[in-house]
Amino acid sequence: MSASSQPIFITFLNGADVAQLALTDDEILAAVEEGLLAQGRQQTVIEPRVHLIPESSSIGHFNVLRGVVKPLGLAGVKVVGDFVGNYQRGLPSEMAVLNLFDPETGMPKAILDATAITDMRTGAVTALGAKHLARKSSKILGHIGARGTSYWNVRLLNHLFDFDEIRIHSKRPESRNAFAARLTQDLGKKITVTEDWESCVRDADIIVEASRLPEPTPMLKTAWIKRGALAIPYGTMSAVELSLTDIMDKMVVDDWGQCRKGLPFGALRQHVDSDRLTEQNLHAELGQIVAGLKPGRQSDDETNLFWHRGLSLSDIALGHALLQKAARLGLGQQLRFA
């Protein structure tokens, strides 16, 4: 058989495979940090995400994320749906597929159910941002939102900081109560459920805003953020006041190319468009800090901001880690492509 007629197989990991692989907290953090390190060393290619809106952004849309992580020898394209009303159909709000390719030949390498990957890598980026930008002694977490990514935000942040107090809030009581019950069981500590935003985030050491607003609404007040805190807003629609950036000593993003002017959506979209956050007053991309090219937090008095929009590199890095573990454990299916 000639080389050109050799069959080509791709690895398929479905949701059950990903669940069975059961990546540990440390495995997730290490994989995502590897992608950030490659980015900081300029060993990646990142194309800003694009969106497909079937009807209205208030109902839902698709995000398409694209990138290359050269040290891993992988290119990737992830398509993730983000539809806020899916809970009414018993479905996750975010469901995703990750396609991985050989960046030198374009040959398909793998297809993965990336729903859990999206949740895990988002939580990992949140936690790694806090690792470098929050006070080491942070003991109070205030978390807004109870969507899929929220669980991994709290779990991985707690893995690094072992909080004394974890406060959560979400608009729907049934959602926040179920979220608290899951966290209580898995983390083995008391979770404080609040009925409003202020009591959740006021004077917290780390504040994560992962709300699901239909349109930009300044729900999180700048006055509630204490000196020395770290704020991490990443909702699709902005939930913060324009004054938020005025109190910050360091402002960090995951990728400036996805945050710059001319792009839709994002927690700080209005801040960028009004020049409150610019390439000039941006402190760093997180990958530059991970790679040691820029400093992270330098004093307990700093009030810092980390805005992440979601990196294709994190999906690719976590997908790679899953494929490596699946190969060791004999999980997944080999599908004939050609």
Residues 139 and 97 both lie in one domain: no
pLDDT of residue 48: 84
Residues 263 and 144 both lie in one domain: yes
pLDDT confidence of 57, banded at 50, 70, 90?
confident
Is residue 50 over pLDDT 70? yes
Beta strands in 84-229 (DSSP E): 94-101, 108-113, 140-144, 165-169, 191-193, 206-209
Integer Cα distance of 175 and 88 in angstroms: 12
Which CATH number covers residue 261? 3.40.50.720
pLDDT of residue 213: 84
Is residue 251 over pLDDT 80? yes
Residues 210 and 246 both lie in one domain: yes
* N residues, the chain: 338
Residues 78 and 133 both lie in one domain: no
pLDDT confidence of 84, banded at 50, 70, 90?
confident
Is residue 332 over pLDDT 60? yes
Beta strand pairing call for 230-233 and 206-209: parallel
Residues 38 and 79 both lie in one domain: yes
Per DSSP, the three-state class of 24 is coil
Is residue 127 over pLDDT 50? yes
Report yes or no: 254 and 133 within 8 Å, Cβ to Cβ. no
Residues 170 and 300 both lie in one domain: yes
Integer Cα distance of 89 and 49 in angstroms: 27
CA distances from 274 to 65, 84, 197, 247, 278 (A): 26, 28, 26, 16, 9
Total structural domains within the chain: 2
Report yes or no: 219 and 200 within 8 Å, Cβ to Cβ. no
Residues 248 and 324 both lie in one domain: no
The encoded tokens of residue 128 equal 């790694």
Residues 110 and 164 both lie in one domain: no
Residues 113 and 129 both lie in one domain: no
How many other CB atoms are there within 10 angstroms of residue 51's CB atom? 14
Integer Cα distance of 314 and 39 in angstroms: 10
Is residue 87 over pLDDT 90? no
pLDDT of residue 328: 97
Residues 246 and 162 both lie in one domain: yes
172 — alpha (psi -120 to 50), left (phi > 0) or beta? Answer: beta
Threshold 0.85, pTM exceeds: yes
pLDDT of residue 66: 96
CA distances from 4 to 7, 8, 10, 102, 104 (A): 8, 10, 16, 17, 17
Integer Cα distance of 140 and 153 in angstroms: 14
Which CATH number covers residue 97? 3.30.1780.10
Residues 136 and 105 both lie in one domain: no
DSSP result, 222-241: GGGSPTT-EEEE--SS--B-
What is the identity of the amino acid at 137? S
pLDDT confidence of 2, banded at 50, 70, 90?
very low
pLDDT confidence of 4, banded at 50, 70, 90?
low
Residues 35 and 61 both lie in one domain: yes
How many other CB atoms are there within 10 angstroms of residue 48's CB atom? 16
The encoded tokens of residue 24 equal 């540990």
For 43, the domain range is 3-117+313-336
CA distances from 14 to 27, 160, 170, 174, 223 (A): 19, 29, 30, 29, 45
Nearest Cα neighbor of 117 from 196, 19, 254 is: 19
Q: Which residues pair with 96 in a beta bridge?
A: 80
The encoded tokens of residue 173 equal 């009581």
Is residue 1 over pLDDT 50? no
